[in-house]
Every structure is written in structure tokens, then in C-alpha cells.
Amino acid sequence: MKVQVPVHKNNDYQGTVADLTYQGNGVVKVDDFPIFVPNALPGEQVTVKVTKVTSHFAWGRVMEWQIKSADRVETADQKLLQSGIAPLANLKYDAQLKFKQRQIQELLAKAHLNDIEVLPTMGMADPYHYRNKAQVPVKLVRGQVETGFYRRGSHKLVPTEDFVIQDPQLDKAIVVVRDLLRKFHIAPYNEQTGEGVIRTIMVRRGYYSHEMMVVLVTKKRKLPMKEELVKGIVAGVPELKSLVQNVNSQRTNRLLGNEDHVLWGESAIHDTLLGIDFTISPRSFYQVNPQQTERLYSTAIKAAELDGSQTVIDAYCGIGTISLAVAQHAKEVYGVEVVAEAVNDAKHNAKANGIRNVHFVAAKAEDQMAKWQEQGMQPDVLIVDPPRKGLDEQLIEATGQMGPKKVVYVSCNPATLVRDIQRWGEQGYHVVKPIQPVDMFPQTTHVESVTVLERTEK
């Protein structure tokens, strides 16, 4: 049956915002036909101009608010809302936390799993300035070197000096580098012409250590005015410990290339997480919200209820953050991760901290789990922290065969979490505690949570 489309491009419609999508857009319905409207909040009465129509939905823009939401943050920088940086910055923080809790509840309800409880989202006391890493594009805008962010879905640079959710020391360092590039006429790399030097500035700062790293990503090895630039950055960023040039000559969306040259100081910085020392080099993965990472992983580790006698598997272990924190509470820990460099970092970090009861393997988690199962490994607890696509069925089946008592599921995507909870059910594993969401990315739509499953007769 063909759907009658009741709205037309460039026409105005009046309505009440009924809902907020998982991407943070308001939904206004005209005869049940949804119009997605950026920066419109549930309960608001608005006049919307339709900007795009497809057969099943439309996009629109608010022309006027008749009634505004009590949950609206009026000061939210409109530029930030348009970016991928802070799409929820127009919503009060309490409402953001409820929005994240409700998202998991709704997905559970759709899957007829209403009996599983979801706790209120663990938020931050200061839900801004939390990121320990910045990676900003550098471009010429009206003849001037600018740093900022790309507007969502585009390569259009929006210049800014205040990134709102980054450690302010990162923002300051970016301005120092930008001003030096202006002063010494060092041109940004231009994708169209292939001319120019600097592609991206990356800055990291240890939350506890306060050690800073600046990485200049360049198109070529040659860096004009190198000495002056180095001198200027060293003078302008007092906490600097490491200044690196990364060469990325490819035409690619990947930020960093494979070539690092230390321009000044060390090749890496350090920070601690849950009391463990981590070495962070330019290309290392490291969680970007250290305060909430500690809370998320502490929640997961507590849920594992370890007393030092257990064998634990940490699947999708990355640089071993969870494995190393678990090690002091377990007999043996086995970590598996597909990115070989991350596994090398994990091994290095284990050694540097004198932790000997952890073992890391570079492999796909689903393959390695099947292998361990064949080898007769009998873990007590499995911890998983998969990417957005969730768990592979093979991993769930292999786990069912091995039969650990407990599974602790750290999830960054409620949709695949709920799908996987259903699959775990087929292996006899059921959720035994309320799900705990933890807000790792305030002002954004990301939803992280910890779920505990146990093998139970049901």
C-alpha cells in the first residue's frame, strides 16, 4: 500500500513535539506522518518548515516556538548542536540522564523484557569539560587558519575556541598551535588542491598526571618553520611532555598515519586509571572520559563479585583496562582483542605495573572463545565490552558450552544489548540485577550500561 504523504517541502506546519529520537531530534507528527526536527524538545509547540520529504518521514526546521520545554537549556551554543560534538546540549542534564535510561527501558519493552529493571543513569557532577583528548581539523576560512569542528555530516569547518566538553587545557593548547600556524604562515592541508601542510591537531592530557601531548598531523614529512613552531609550542603549553609529528600522506578519512616523529620530549605520556599506570602514545586507544570510565568499570568489576579465586575472561579487552583492574581480584585473567597494537599496549601495561596473572591474545573474540572452549578452559566469569555492533552469536554459543556462572556485559549500544540478552536466554543466561546505565558522554546521545547475567534455570 502506498503511504499518502501529508506534508510538502517548504510548507509550514504547527504541532507539538511528541518524542525525541535516539539521535536527539524532535518528532512532530502530521496525520501520524513523522517530521524529524533538530533542536525541538518533547512537549514544545512549534511551527516547522519542512525541508525534505521522503516516502516515510520528513525533515523540518523550527521557525517559531509557541511553547518551550521546561527542560530546555537556553544558553546552549547553537553551533554545537549542529555538530556531532554536543547534540543534546539543548537538554537539561537531568533530562539527558532520564532520556538515556528510558531508551534502554523502551527497547527492553519492545522485546517483551519489561521485567528487567533499569536504574537511573549514573551522571557526572560537572557534565562538561570531561574529554581528555581533542582532535580538531585545521582549515583556511576566508584566508585565515582556523580550528574548530565539522558540521554534522559535512566537511564544513565551524571555527571555535571553546569546545565545551573538552578539558579546557586542551582548548588552550589548540589556540596556541593555531596562533603559531598563523604567525609562521604554515598552511593547512587542502583536500581539493593537495597543497598545504597541517591536517589535524591532536591533543591529550592525563586526567591525574596532567601530562600533555600535542600531535601535529601533517601531509608530508617536511614541516616548514619546524624549530620556531616547536619552540613556540613548548613555551605556550607549560604541561607539555610530548610533541610528536605524525605523517599521514594518504587520501583518507583516517586521522593518523603510520609514521610518528618525536619533535620534542617523550614519545608517550602516562595517566592512571583505577590506580593502574597506562602509557599513551599518539595512536593508542584510551578512554576519553576517565572519570566515568572509572565508575563504569568499577561497576562492572563489582558486579563480577570476585574474591581472588576466579578465572576471568575479558573479551574485547582493548588496551587491557578492565583486565588489569580485575587482575588484583582474580586468580587468572585472559584478555582477547582484535587490534594487535592494542594487545601490545595491554602487554606493556601489564609488565609496567608488575601484574603477572593476565594473559593477552590478539584474535577475534568469537574465534578465541571457541578455541578456549575446545581447549577445555573453564572460566568463572566472562566480561564483555564489545563495539556498537554487539556480540557475535558464535561467542554466545561458545560461552554457553563453557558455562561460566556469570557474564558481565558492558554495552555502548542498547539496541544490540537487548538483542544479545535475548540470545543469552537461549543459552540459559538471564539478567539477575537491574541494568546500570553510566553516562560516559554527557551532551551526546551515547548510552553505556552494565548488565549482569547468570546461568539460571528459568
If the CB atoms of residues 105 and 132 are measured against ligand SAH, the closer one turns out to be 132
If the CB atoms of residues 46 and 288 are measured against ligand SAH, the closer one turns out to be 288
Q: How many chain residues are in contact with ligand SAH, going by CB under 6 A?
A: 18
Which residues, 271 to 300, sit near ligand SAH by CB under 6 A? Answer: 285, 287
Q: Integer distance in angstroms from the first to the last C-alpha of the chain?
A: 42
If the CB atoms of residues 146 and 345 are measured against ligand SAH, the closer one turns out to be 345
* Strand, helix or coil for residue 91: strand
Binding flag, residue 345, ligand SAH (CB under 6 A):
no
- Exactly one of 104, 319, 327, 370 binds ligand SAH (CB under 6 A); that residue is 319
If the CB atoms of residues 224 and 387 are measured against ligand SAH, the closer one turns out to be 387
Note whether 287 and 319 are within 8 A (CB).
Answer: no
C-alpha cell at 208: 591525574
> DSSP for 396-430?
HHHHHHH--SEEEEEES-HHHHHHHHHHHHHTTEE
Distance separating alpha carbons of residues 425 and 27, to the nearest angstrom:
34
Could you say which of 346, 383, 412, 418 is catalytic?
412
What's the length of the chain?
458
If the CB atoms of residues 95 and 415 are measured against ligand SAH, the closer one turns out to be 415
C-alpha cell at 413: 549500544
Contacts of 320 (CB under 8 A, 6+ apart): 314, 335, 337, 345, 346, 347, 349, 350, 358, 360
If the CB atoms of residues 147 and 399 are measured against ligand SAH, the closer one turns out to be 399
- Exactly one of 70, 175, 339, 340 binds ligand SAH (CB under 6 A); that residue is 339
Examine the residue annotation and report whether 412 is marked as an active-site residue of this protein. Answer: yes
CB of 338 to ligand SAH, least distance (A): 4
Binding flag, residue 321, ligand SAH (CB under 6 A):
yes
Contacts of 315 (CB under 8 A, 6+ apart): 335, 336, 365, 368, 369, 382, 383, 384, 385, 386, 395
Contacts of 444 (CB under 8 A, 6+ apart): 84, 85, 86, 87, 88, 165
Which position has the grid cell 586507544?
285
CB of 200 to ligand SAH, least distance (A): 21
Binding flag, residue 385, ligand SAH (CB under 6 A):
yes
- Exactly one of 316, 360, 372, 409 binds ligand SAH (CB under 6 A); that residue is 316
Distance separating alpha carbons of residues 64 and 48, to the nearest angstrom:
7
Binding flag, residue 201, ligand SAH (CB under 6 A):
no
Note whether 315 and 384 are within 8 A (CB).
Answer: yes
Binding flag, residue 304, ligand SAH (CB under 6 A):
no
Residue nearest to ligand SAH (CB): 318
- Exactly one of 365, 418, 440, 452 binds ligand SAH (CB under 6 A); that residue is 365
Residues forming the active site: 412
Binding site for ligand SAH (CB under 6 A): 285, 287, 316-319, 321-322, 336-339, 342, 364-365, 385-387
